[in-house]
Amino acid sequence: MTATRAWAATRKGLFELRRSARGWGVARVSFLAEPVSMVLPPVGGSGRMLAALNLGHFGVKVHASDDAGATWREVDAPTYPPQPEGGKDAEGPAWKLVQIWSMEALHGAIWAGTLPGGLFKSTDGGEHWELVDSLWSRPERLGWFGGGYDVPGIHSILPHPTRPGELLLGISCGGVWGSREGSTQWELQAKGMRADFMPPEQADDENTQDPHLIALCDAVPTSVWCQHHNGIFRSTDGSRSWQEVKPPIANFGFAVAVHPREPDTAWFAPAVKDEKRVPVDGALFVHRTRDGGKSFEALRTGLPQQDCYDLVYRHGLVVDGTGRSLLMGSTTGNLWASDDAGDSWTEVAGHLPPIHALRFG
């Protein structure tokens, strides 16, 4: 069914978006003026929803709503355990929560991915959180470093649609990690990715890859797509191996959305790499492939084609369950919608705060 509700987590609040006969519009604002780094829509459409705030002075907070954003109540935020004073465990970033970068819910669990590189799990609807120590204690963690922030972070959490306990994680910069043992055993799964930002002899090091975002096809979860710092990569074996695909105009960007039933169809929001990070020639477009990356279309209808400097961050491009409705939001506070799989776009809002994340639901 076509989505009728969506959420925009922004630098200055959480915006509820509703679809009417006139198209998408803002229906409600929560946490006005507060930075909202991520939102978890109501689970199942009507259950608990969570919002992650990042208060500049007073830290990261989590709020829960059981009435789809009408009222909110603060719950526990993830907290790192006491940091050892010495030894190997004392190395690396301080064990202090910097930001909640991702949240997902499936199979009765809620997962939060954080800076500095923590995965937290809640089994009580987000009231309390527990650090997943099996990942945090991996020695490879000390090889991770920041991508976009001073410390590494988990921006992608992909629970397997049908197999509880199986997760894929995307980490900047820490590669792709998979769990197939109830999230107690972890395996680095970034084989085939390439890191040009590393010394040449380390470019293939799986543990320092920078996948900007990973996303999978719900109906065919072995099909995983990645917008990487170095380009676009695709896996057809559930992240066991990755192959690079090369779009014709630009391969840099942050966001990727995958069709829920067509594993060969994915959308990307390209930008000039790497130091500039603006649309190519000041003209915004969306790249779409429908053949697994063999070819790409540049979709421009309805998007600004002159003097445009919008950048779409990791969580700023989403597709609904039909595979035809998309939303795209930028750091310039612009929001566009498409109802024809990206062929054409309409502006929903032009003056929102910088958009951190969009979610249907």
Q: Which of 21, 22, 45, 82 binds another protein (CB under 8 A)?
A: 82
**Among 154, 134, 131, CA closest to 38:** 154
For position 74 contacting another protein by CB under 8 A, the verdict is yes
Secondary structure letter of residue 134 according to DSSP: H
d(CA 299, CA 37) in angstroms, rounded, equals 28
- Taking CB under 8 A as the criterion, the residue among 27, 43, 95, 241 binding another protein is 95
97 binds another protein (CB under 8 A): yes
Tokens standing for residue 323: 């595979």
**Torsion angle defined by CA atoms of residues 346, 349, 350 and 355, in that order, rounded to the nearest 10 degrees:** -110
Distances (CA, A) of 261 to 2, 169, 196, 209, 220: 14, 21, 33, 28, 7
Query: Using the rule CB under 8 A, is 83 a contact of another protein?
Result: yes
Among 45, 58, 88, 199, binds another protein (CB under 8 A): 58
Q: Contact at 8 Å (CB) between 181 and 225?
A: no
Residue 133 is a binding residue for another protein (CB under 8 A): no
Exactly one of 61, 138, 277, 290 binds another protein (CB under 8 A); that residue is 61
In degrees rounded to 5, what are phi and psi of residue 203? Answer: -60, -25
Interface residue with another protein, options 44, 56, 199, 200 (CB under 8 A): 56
Does residue 80 bind another protein (CB under 8 A)? yes
Closer residue to another protein (CB): 79 or 344 = 79
In this chain, which of 6, 17, 51, 77 binds another protein, going by CB under 8 A? 77
Whole-number minimum distance, CB 57 to another protein, in Å? 4
8 binds another protein (CB under 8 A): no
Q: How far apart are CA 281 and CA 157, in angstroms?
A: 33
Ramachandran area for residue 161 (φ above 0: left; ψ -120 to 50: alpha; else beta): alpha
Nearer to another protein among residue 77 and residue 158 (C-beta): 77
Q: Which pair of structure tokens corresponds to residue 152? A: 């590494």
Q: In the complex, what is the shortest distance from the CB of residue 78 to another protein, in angstroms, rounded to a whole number? A: 9
Please report whether residue 96 would count as binding another protein according to CB under 8 A. yes
Tell me how many residues contact another protein (CB under 8 A).
16
Contact 322, 262 (CB under 8 A): no
- Comparing C-alpha atoms, which of 306, 207, 314 is closest to residue 256? 314
Residue from 47, 59, 108, 182 in contact with another protein (CB under 8 A) = 59
In angstroms, the CA 158 to CA 165 distance is 11
> Which of the ranges 40-48, 91-99, 174-182, 352-360 carries the binding residues for another protein, by CB under 8 A?
91-99
Q: How far is CA 80 from CA 99, 116, 170, in A?
A: 12, 10, 20
Binding segment for another protein among 56-64, 164-172, 251-259, 287-295 (CB under 8 A)?
A: 56-64
Shortest approach of another protein to residue 147 CB, angstroms?
22
55 interacts with another protein by CB under 8 A: yes
Q: Is 138 in the site for another protein (CB under 8 A)?
A: no
Instruction: Give the separation between CA 213 and CA 351, rounded to whole angstroms.
Output: 26
Using CB under 8 A, which of 94, 219, 249, 278 touches another protein? Answer: 94
145 binds another protein (CB under 8 A): no
**Interface positions with another protein (CB under 8 A):** 55-59, 61, 74, 77, 79-80, 82-83, 94-97
